[in-house]
C-alpha cells in the first residue's frame, strides 16, 4: 500500500511538472508564433494610403478587391478564400468568391454565384452558410473548391417577410448552435409606425416573432423559426452585429438604437437631443435575457435606461426601464453598428488579444446635424467584459462630404472577418471594396 501510494505521488508529481513545462513552453513560444504571423506579411505590397483609410501606427492595409458589388458581411476560409454577401445582385447572383493564386494577397480570381442577396455569411465544418432575409441555408464546400458545386440545403426558415430590419446575420457557438438576429419591423412599435405622437402598442405584438435572437441547431435541416427555434433573447430592436466570443463562451450583439425622437415627440426632445440619443448598445446576451425594446432606450450621457416616449417617458423617467438588462458598453447615437468580431489570432500586438472590433456603417438619423459612424472601433476585453473604453481603429471611410451623409460617403465599413494568418478584413457597402489590415510595426 505504501509503495502504491509512493508511486502514485511520484506519478502525480511527474505529470504536474510536465504540465508546467508544457505551459511554460507554450508561453515562451507565443511571442515566436506572433512574430512568425507578423512576418508573413513582409512580402505584401501595402497601399500607400492604406486604400483611403487611416489606421493606428504600426498597421498597414491594402485593397484585396474593388468594385465587386455592394458588400455586406464577409467570411474567410482557412485556405484564404474570401466569401462576401451582396446587397444587390451582380449578373443575377448574390454571393462573390475571391481567391489569390499569386501570393500577393490580392484577389485574381473573382466568381459570383447564388440566386439570393443577403447579409449573413459564415463558414463552419466544410459548409458555407448564407442568409437571405427569410432563411438560412448552407452550401457544401469540397476541399479547395472556390464555388460550391452542389446546391444549398435549408437550415432554418419560416422567418416573416418584413420591410424594415429584415436581414438575418448569424453566429455559431462551439456546441453546435446557431444564433440568428430577427430584427423588429418597426422603429418603436407605435400603433402607427413612425407617426408623430402615436402611442406604443403595449404589449408589443411584434416581439412574438421579431425583436430578438433565435437559437437553432447549426446542423439540423429544415428547421422552422417558431416550431424548432428557441427565442434565446428578446427586446433587441435590430442586431446586425453579432458574434460568439470563444474566450468567454458567450454571445454578444450591438443593437441599432431607435430613431426620430425629435420628429415624433418635438415637445420632449430637441433636434440636438435627437441627434445624440439613444445609444447604440453593446449587449452580452444570455439565454432568457430581455433588453427592453421598445419600452425603453439607453441614454449614454446619463448612463441609464429610460422609458421610451411612446410608453410615457419624458427623456428622464425610468419607470419599468429598470426591469431590463443594461448594455456592457454604449456608443453615441446613429452610428449604425453592422458587424462584430472578437480577435483570436496573434498577428496583432498583445493588447488586441480577445478584444472586439465593431464596424459602424454610418446612418441618416442625425440629420440635419452632421452624420457620424463610418469607422471600425476596437474594444479591449478581459474575460467576458470590456477592460477599457473603445478606440477608433480604422477611419476615413466617408471621405470629405461636410455632412457625412450616407448617400455621399465614399465608403461605408460593413463586414469584418479574421483571416487564417490573423489579418483583419473589412468590407465596404458602397463600392464593394475589401481591405486587408495587417500589423507591420512600421
List, for residues 268-327, the tens digit of each pLDDT value: 999 999 999 999 999 999 999 999 999 999 999 999 999 999 999 999 999 999 999 999
Query: What per-residue confidence (pLDDT) applies to 11?
Result: 35
Output Rg (C-alpha) for the chain, integer angstroms.
Answer: 23
pTM for this predicted structure: 0.91
Q: Which three cell numbers stand for residue 254?
A: 450591438
Burial 88-113 (b: 16+ CB within 10 A, else e): ebbeebbbbbbbbeeeebbbeebebb
In this structure, are residues 44 and 400 in contact, taking their beta carbons and an 8 Å threshold?
no
Q: Which three cell numbers stand for residue 56?
A: 493606428
d(CA 342, CA 250): 11
Query: What per-residue confidence (pLDDT) applies to 40?
Result: 53
C-alpha count within 13 angstroms, C-beta hemisphere, residue 123: 21
Query: What per-residue confidence (pLDDT) applies to 401?
Result: 79
Phi/psi at 14 (5° precision): -60, -50
Beta-sheet strands, E only, within 1-126 = 59-65, 71-76, 82-90, 93-99, 109-113, 120-124
Burial 251-264 (b: 16+ CB within 10 A, else e): bbbbbbbbbebbeb
Query: What per-residue confidence (pLDDT) applies to 293?
Result: 98
Length of the chain counted residue by residue: 442
Q: Which three cell numbers stand for residue 382?
A: 478581459
Pinpoint the alpha helices (H) of 192-256.
Answer: 225-228
**pLDDT beneath 50: ranges in the chain:** 1-29, 36, 38-39
Helix (H, G, I), strand (E, B) or coil at 21: helix
Closest alpha carbon to 340 in 374, 378, 384:
378
Q: Which three cell numbers stand for residue 149?
A: 458545386
d(CA 99, CA 82): 7
Residue found under cell 435572437: 213
Q: Which three cell numbers stand for residue 23?
A: 505551459
Q: Which three cell numbers stand for residue 199?
A: 402611442
Contacts of 166 (CB under 8 A, 6+ apart): 133, 134, 183, 185
Contacts of 145 (CB under 8 A, 6+ apart): none
d(CA 72, CA 429): 6
Give yes or no for a cis peptide into 203 (omega within 30° of 0): yes
d(CA 401, CA 307): 35
d(CA 435, CA 53): 9
Residue found under cell 429610460: 306
Q: Which three cell numbers stand for residue 186?
A: 418597426
Closest alpha carbon to 241 in 332, 338, 171, 329:
338
Residue found under cell 453546435: 176
| 217 DSSP assignment | E
Pairing of strands 109-113, 120-124: unpaired
Closest alpha carbon to 328 in 375, 288, 289:
289
d(CA 105, CA 82): 11
Amino acid at each position: 500500500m505504501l509503495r502504491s501510494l509512493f508511486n502514485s505521488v511520484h506519478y502525480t508529481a511527474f505529470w504536474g511538472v510536465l504540465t508546467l513545462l508544457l505551459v511554460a513552453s507554450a508561453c515562451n513560444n507565443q511571442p515566436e508564433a506572433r512574430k512568425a504571423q507578423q512576418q508573413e506579411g513582409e512580402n505584401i505590397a501595402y497601399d500607400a494610403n492604406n486604400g483611403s483609410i487611416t489606421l493606428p501606427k504600426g498597421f498597414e492595409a491594402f485593397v484585396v478587391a474593388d468594385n465587386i458589388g455592394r458588400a455586406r458581411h464577409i467570411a474567410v476560409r482557412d485556405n484564404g478564400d474570401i466569401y462576401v454577401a451582396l446587397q444587390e445582385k451582380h449578373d443575377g447572383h448574390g454571393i462573390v468568391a475571391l481567391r489569390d493564386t499569386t501570393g500577393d494577397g490580392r484577389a485574381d480570381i473573382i466568381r459570383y454565384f447564388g440566386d439570393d442577396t443577403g447579409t449573413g455569411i459564415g463558414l463552419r465544418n466544410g459548409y458555407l452558410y448564407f442568409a437571405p432575409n427569410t432563411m438560412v441555408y448552407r452550401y457544401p464546400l469540397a476541399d479547395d473548391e472556390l464555388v460550391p458545386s452542389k446546391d444549398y440545403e435549408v437550415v432554418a426558415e419560416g422567418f416573416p417577410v418584413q420591410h424594415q430590419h429584415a436581414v438575418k446575420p448569424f453566429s455559431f457557438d462551439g456546441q453546435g448552435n446557431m444564433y440568428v438576429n430577427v430584427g423588429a419591423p418597426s422603429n418603436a412599435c407605435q400603433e402607427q409606425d413612425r407617426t408623430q405622437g402615436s402611442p406604443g402598442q403595449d404589449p408589443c405584438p411584434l416581439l412574438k416573432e421579431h425583436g430578438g435572437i433565435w437559437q437553432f441547431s447549426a446542423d439540423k435541416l429544415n428547421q422552422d423559426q417558431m416550431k424548432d427555434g428557441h427565442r434565446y433573447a428578446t427586446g433587441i430592436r435590430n442586431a446586425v452585429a453579432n458574434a460568439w466570443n470563444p474566450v468567454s463562451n458567450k454571445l454578444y450583439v450591438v443593437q441599432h438604437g431607435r430613431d426620430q425622437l425629435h420628429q415624433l415627440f418635438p415637445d420632449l426632445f430637441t433636434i440636438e437631443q435627437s441627434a445624440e440619443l439613444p445609444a447604440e448598445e453593446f449587449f452580452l446576451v444570455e439565454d432568457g435575457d430581455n433588453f427592453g425594446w421598445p419600452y425603453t432606450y439607453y441614454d449614454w450621457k446619463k448612463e441609464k435606461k429610460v422609458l421610451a416616449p411612446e410608453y410615457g417617458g419624458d427623456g428622464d423617467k425610468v419607470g419599468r426601464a429598470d426591469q431590463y438588462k443594461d448594455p456592457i458598453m454604449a456608443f453615441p447615437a446613429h452610428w449604425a453598428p453592422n458587424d462584430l468580431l472578437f480577435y483570436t489570432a496573434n498577428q496583432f500586438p498583445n493588447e488586441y488579444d480577445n478584444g472586439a472590433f465593431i464596424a459602424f456603417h454610418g446612418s441618416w438619423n442625425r440629420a440635419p446635424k452632421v452624420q457620424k459612424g463610418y469607422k471600425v472601433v476596437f474594444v479591449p476585453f478581459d474575460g467576458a467584459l470590456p477592460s477599457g473604453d473603445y478606440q477608433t481603429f480604422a477611419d476615413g471611410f466617408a471621405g470629405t462630404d461636410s455632412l457625412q451623409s450616407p448617400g455621399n460617403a465614399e465608403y461605408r465599413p460593413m463586414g469584418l472577418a479574421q483571416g487564417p494568418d490573423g489579418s483583419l478584413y473589412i468590407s465596404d457597402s458602397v463600392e464593394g471594396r475589401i481591405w486587408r489590415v495587417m500589423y507591420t510595426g512600421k
